[in-house]
Amino acid sequence: MGKTLTEKILEEHLLVGELKKGQEIGIRIDQTLTQDATGTMAYLQFEAIGLPRVKTDLSVSYIDHNTLQTGFENADDHAFLQSIAAKYGLYFSRPGNGICHQVHLERFGQPGKTLLGSDSHTPTGGGLGMLAIGAGGLDVAVAMAGGPFYLTTPEVVGIKLTGQLKAYVSSKDIILKVLEILGVKGGVGRVIEYYGQGIKSLTVPERATITNMGAELGATTSVFPSDEVTKKFLVAQNRADTYKELTADEDCVYDHNIEINLDELQPLAAAPHSPDNIKSIASLEGMKVNQVAIGSCTNSSYTDLVKVAKILKGKSVHPTISLVISPGSKQVFEMLAKDGYLADLISSGARILESACGPCIGMGQAPSSNAVSLRTFNRNFFGRSGTKDASIYLVSPETAAASALTGVITNPTSLSQDISTLMPEHFLIDDNMIIPPLPDGSHIEIIRGPNIKPLPVNSPLDNILVGEVLIKVEDNITTDHIMPAGAKILPLRSNIPEIAKYVFTTVDKDFSQRALDKNGGFIIGGHNYGQGSSREHAALAPMYLGVKAVITKSFARIHKANLVNFGLLPLTFKNEADYENIDQGDIVELSNLVISLRNNQDITLINKSKNKVYELNCDLSARAIEIVLAGGLLNYTKGN
């Protein structure tokens, strides 16, 4: 029996374990990336490991999240990150060079390589045939130190694409269709692998849009073959030497199969407040729109924005619409300018933002009260835009541009002009905003601003945990709920005591103070707890507040790993109905933890307030259990 592409790459990088579904393995990581919202903590953790230089083939530190400088904090962090890169042997992508995933696709990604990034949308690299995985910053720090990255051997879902997209239907509509089929939990424990004749008509940026939003499925990652389309892109980026043909064997067998006929696909949208709340644009036509935002790591490529420029050329944005556009990289921005498309965008009335994440992470451009905002982004979680009562719809660039002209949701298939856009034969290559590693950075002094505080480290797990249920939350709680982002909070990423004040503020503004007053306690959650961003602060800040265990119906992959990394015990109800019988304020107890965890026994939770007993599961590998018992991955790594 043949092998899937996923199996081939995993096999080539396997360091620990066997490739058997459901078993833990450790793989070699070739490349890493960080961005400035997660990078400061990742590098504080790398420093704590104590090595003089990163051991990966290539590591890149990007500045793309915290670029809004309303105070000294972000600029100080950037100086810290630049000095860290110089000292420890990383490439440094300066502010203004672009969004990490877009730039990495253009300038660093390589077919067949493994990429670990401290950002949940790292799977963007799968559009190039990489096995690119999002993780917490501590996992990335360990990988930079040469350690394996551990994951559960995934199932592989094969998605066969047939046919070809019609005009004004885009790759964004493909991934929205996949989200409609699988939902935000449908990718958990799985890699999504695309194949079939339909992929031949999709460019690398279009493929990257699909793999980028695979993160919203909860998938470990998503991947396309590396073929002639990949080669054409790499040649155009003057990186032909990195090309490697990679495909699944024809006789491989996928664990699950899905087929999508691109001929039949129509423009789609993800309605509020979840990326899998899929509606057809036809069903939403005529809805009044207040804001349109085009860009993000999902849809900010050169070809994306050329199509937008062609739709807007010679026309004006509707008087009721605020249109903002963020080119994904300096390369994209500069090519749009040289080719005349930037003038078309500006002439239409679009407001051009810098090449950064911007509104996608709530960094400016919050919609007006009760607004409808169409965004070409990847997430529309409640409150993420910065306006709690706004309704955020995720759409393609074509739908966004068409609607910006009319002031209402508009089906782009109603347009008549030709917006077909060929991939450039040669991209503009100018890496002057990327600083390469120094041969020897031992003489470099690290710059530390006053907002960069020492890294909090947990203590080993106690055998008995007693405390109060500090909060009880519902299904699909995101890391945005747990640790909000935005222009006010993101600059505090290097200062855990300060950022911890904002834990759960969108759900319960008193949570942080209550946790401190009660000397910590427990969190109770529903299904898919911790979905969304890879931000490890959603585990690190609760740890700082004294949380020792999180008990849910189920966890999202990255957040569960982050809880383990910081020594917080992730447990699930053996009987989901028990979730209904426990409330905020209950005093609960976990006992005999060390023996129970090491012997893979069920954990007993005693509810002292209600005189009830619940059985809990701890679905962790032996290695992960030892990490939790040690008080987190940093303690475990130092002790081994």
Active site residues: 64-65, 119, 379, 533, 535
**Please, which residues have CB within 8 angstroms of residue 2's CB and are 6 or more apart in sequence?**
248, 249, 250, 251, 252, 253
Pseudo-torsion of CA 120, 371, 171, 221, nearest 10°?
Answer: 10
Handedness of CA 138, 140, 146, 149 (dihedral sign): positive
Q: Which amino acid is at 493?
A: R
CB distance 187 to 558 below 8 Å: no
CA distance 265 to 271: 18
Q: CB of 143 within 8 A of CB of 60?
A: no
Residue whose pair of structure tokens reads 């012997």 in the numeric block: 599
In this structure, how many other beta carbons lie within 10 angstroms of the beta carbon of residue 639? Answer: 10
Q: Give the span between the Cα atoms of 484 and 495, in whole angstroms.
A: 14
Residues 6+ positions from 219 with CB-CB distance below 8 Å: 123, 157, 187, 188, 190, 191, 192
**Pairwise CA distance, residues 410 & 99, whole Å:** 28
Amino acid symbol at 616: L
Judge residue 87's burial from the number of C-beta atoms within 10 Å of its C-beta, 0-12 exposed, 13-18 middle, 19 or more buried.
buried
CA distance 24 to 597: 17
Q: Which residue has the tokens 């109060």?
A: 468
Residue 74: HSE in the Cβ half-sphere, 13 Å Cα cutoff:
21
One-letter amino acid at 370 equals N
> First and final CA of the chain: distance in angstroms?
39
Give the β-pairing of 322-325 and 291-294: parallel
DSSP for residue 384: T
At residue 519, what are phi and psi to the nearest 5 degrees?
60, 45
Phi, psi for residue 167 in degrees, rounded to 5: -55, 140
Give the C-alpha separation, 259 to 195, whole Å: 10
Q: What is the DSSP string of 4-16?
A: -HHHHHHHHHEEE
- Those residues with Cβ within 8 angstroms of residue 591's Cβ, 6 or more apart along the chain or in another chain: 463, 464, 465, 604, 606
Instruction: Determine the distance from the C-alpha atom of residue 419 to the mean position of all C-alpha atoms in its chain, rounded to a whole number.
Output: 30
- Return the closest-CA partner of residue 117 out of 155, 61, 69, 77: 61
Give Cα 195 to chain centroid, integer Å: 23
d(CA 158, CA 63) in angstroms, rounded, equals: 34
